[in-house]
Amino acid sequence: MRGKIHIQNRGGQKQKIKIRYVMVAVVALMITWVAVMPHAQTRAETCPSLRVVFARGSGGERWTDQNYLAFKEAIENKLRTVELDYEFIDLDYPAVGIGIDKLDVTAGAIFGSGEAYEFGASVDTGTQNLTNLVNGSCPGTKYVVGGYSQGAMVVSKSLKSLNADNLIYAATFGDPKIYLPEGEGVFPAACRGENLSDYRAYVPDCQAYKGMLGAYIPYEPTSLAGKVGTWCNNKDIFCSSKHLHLGGMADHTSYIKDNLYEDASRVIFDKICGTFGLENRVSSPHDTAILIDSTGSMMGMLGEYKAEALRLATETLESGGRVALFDYRDLDDPYDLVQHCGFEDCTLEVFEEELGSIRADGGGDDPESLLSASFHTMEALNWKQGSTKSLVILTDANFLSPDRDGMTFDEVVALSKRIDPVNFYIITTAEYGVDYAELAEATDGKVVTDFDELSLLTDYIMERYDSLPRVEEGATVELPVLEIVETAQAVSEVKVKFANTGSKAIVMLNDRVLGVTDETEVTITGLDMSKDNVVGLVPINDEVRGETVMVKIAANGYGQMGGGSVNSVGNNEAGLIESRNLKVPATGRR
């Protein structure tokens, strides 16, 4: 035991506010006057085919909030390409502000897990208004709903109440109530790329488990399967990383800058088109690399393929994408992989000229050096984040494994996935279709063995869009852990001893942060024992926080020193009703 810290709890007094009765009378008179005006009417509600609703974050002003405007613009740019009547709605709810200038609301949000005090009331109002809107008086209208930060909580809390037939899609961004069970544990399944939730649209942090204010479980109701997606920026401290550094705050406020609303809009627009039977002519920018087997046996195939390769390059460039061109040969051929042009310099004119220069020649045994060529092609290019990434391969032979440089199948697939992935589209003869099926499947690509289907393959590639990677594999972080050792309660104070693997602990009482201590014992005095009190302790290191341990103290409780532990029922005779773990932030800033 290293000592103890004494913290005095002092409450403030309420100030009285006088209301002048004359003002009340005036307001009442004005209301009566408006009510009896002969021309006062209730405007009939219009019911468009589609409504897109957004719940803004804390402190956002309705209709002018930047996150609402960015979400609206990203989707509306795509809706303009189809014939559909629609309207956008910035959800009417308080979106109560928090931050350093509103510490009472902030602390209430934190300690009430977003469910109590003024913050919780704001979320509840938004939840009720969103539910009433989606389930309301326009049964033929379909809805897309989205929300950022506090607004994301509004959306995720509403999901269990929304009419599934009316909802096309729900998207949350930076949700402090996110739930991703695959992120639980020291080495979670998400860090192995396993058991990813189907609503995990973009959450690069493989350790993301619950949000800063806890979690809504289940996050995606069974009735809404396939209609929910969550975006959580890398190291966003409210929904993702447990890191405390300032970068986490920056990531929470950069959903616009990092184009995550644009990324979500592609998914949402595809859902809208599917619902209304519309043609989706909008795709994400494409990065398409074309890799040609130029050994002598390819002489009969090159001519037909070059024409389709030129069409693919033309459509890619005209859609705002980029192309690259490479060719390769056999392991025993002294011909190395050739880059004819890359994403930065491959204009249509350059591509056409370089494509014409490729000649079929040389070779050796039957299998070709595809694995090495595809690996070094992917490695040589600067792939753009968020683009649809394709490697289109033309060959009439099998591949070697291991290849030159000892390159293996697994190494090629691993690089493809690390990049985003890069999807492999292999055009080959029917003889080798089965051999390439595994490579195409491992990279979420496709094999084409009928040359009459070349144009269909080009159309398929151009119609695809990719979201950002659902998860990035990364090193796990060891989190500090705090456990209650002993607790004791007197008439108006409580003493808590604890073990802490962190360097410090944040001390909280009810809806307030009292301070930070590097001791292992705290005594909190001046408790109001007419009501229940809750003490919270958060273990922290310099940049990482652990799970909060909370101890509830019953009103008018008395007792002696007794043992206690995390997730256990305490000594009821001592007034220690329960100890439990909740995830809360280390600061009240947002």
Q: Is residue 403 within 8 Å of residue 437, measured between CB atoms?
A: no
CATH number of 482-582: 2.60.40.10
What distance in Å separates the CA atoms of residue 307 and residue 406, rounded to the nearest whole number? 34
pLDDT at 526: 83
* Confidence class for position 410, pLDDT limits 50, 70, 90: very high
Single out the residue of 327, 469, 458 nearest to residue 384, CA to CA.
469
What distance in Å separates the CA atoms of residue 328 and residue 450, rounded to the nearest whole number? 22
The C-alpha R_g of the chain, in whole angstroms, comes to 30
Hey, which residues does 8 pair with through a beta bridge? 525
Does pLDDT of 532 surpass 90? no
pLDDT tens digit sequence for 40-61: 333 457 899 999 999 999 999 9
Q: Which amino acid is at 440?
A: A
Highest mean pLDDT out of 384-388, 552-556, 580-584: 384-388
φ, ψ for residue 499 (rounded to 5)? -105, 135
Q: Which residue has the higher pLDDT, 23 or 241?
A: 241
Pairing, β 576-582 against β 548-553: antiparallel
Q: Is the dihedral of CA 201, 202, 206, 211 positive or negative?
A: negative
* Confidence class for position 469, pLDDT limits 50, 70, 90: confident
Q: Which residue has the higher pLDDT, 102 or 15?
A: 102
pLDDT at 126: 98
Half-sphere exposure of 168 (CA within 13 A, CB side): 24
Ranges for all domains in the chain classified under CATH 2.60.40.10: 482-582
* Confidence class for position 318, pLDDT limits 50, 70, 90: confident
What distance in Å separates the CA atoms of residue 317 and residue 322, rounded to the nearest whole number? 6
What distance in Å separates the CA atoms of residue 37 and residue 31, rounded to the nearest whole number? 10
* Confidence class for position 473, pLDDT limits 50, 70, 90: low
Hey, what are 341's tokens?
């042009």
pLDDT at 181: 96
pLDDT tens digit sequence for 415-453: 998 887 899 999 888 888 888 999 999 998 899 887 667
pLDDT at 331: 67
pLDDT tens digit sequence for 288-302: 999 999 888 888 778
Cα–Cα distances in angstroms (integers) from residue 349 to residues 221, 273, 356, in the given order: 52, 35, 11
* Confidence class for position 93, pLDDT limits 50, 70, 90: very high
pLDDT at 570: 29
Cα–Cα distances in angstroms (integers) from residue 204 to residues 108, 186, 187, 234, 499, in the given order: 29, 17, 15, 6, 32
Q: Is residue 564 within 8 Å of residue 487, measured between CB atoms?
A: yes
Hey, which residues does 535 pair with through a beta bridge? 509, 551
pLDDT at 105: 58
Provide the mean pLDDT of the chain.
Answer: 80
pLDDT tens digit sequence for 254-263: 999 888 998 9
DSSP string over 14-25: PPP----HHHHH
Does pLDDT of 477 surpass 80? no
Ranges for all domains in the chain classified under CATH 3.40.50.1820: 51-276
Does pLDDT of 354 surpass 60? yes
pTM of the model: 0.60
Q: Which residue has the higher pLDDT, 416 or 369?
A: 416
Q: Is residue 219 within 8 Å of residue 179, measured between CB atoms?
A: yes
What distance in Å separates the CA atoms of residue 498 and residue 505, rounded to the nearest whole number? 10
Cα–Cα distances in angstroms (integers) from residue 151 to residues 155, 171, 232, 429, 499, in the given order: 6, 10, 14, 53, 37
pLDDT at 62: 97
**CATH code matching the domain that covers 286-463, chosen among 3.40.109.10, 3.40.50.410, 3.30.460.10, 3.30.2270.10:** 3.40.50.410
Single out the residue of 85, 87, 90 nearest to residue 51, CA to CA.
87
Whole-number percent of the chain with pLDDT over 70: 78
**Interhelix angle 150-158/117-134, nearest 10 degrees:** 50
pLDDT at 374: 94
**Fold entry, domain 51-276:** Rossmann fold (3.40.50)
Single out the residue of 533, 405, 471, 477 nearest to residue 111, CA to CA.
533
For range 126-140, the mean pLDDT: 96
Does pLDDT of 561 surpass 50? no
Does pLDDT of 335 surpass 80? no
pLDDT at 100: 54
Hey, what are 35's tokens?
């009510």
pLDDT tens digit sequence for 180-236: 999 988 778 998 888 999 999 999 888 899 998 889 999 999 999 999 999 999 888
For range 162-166, the mean pLDDT: 97
Hey, which residues does 467 pair with through a beta bridge? none
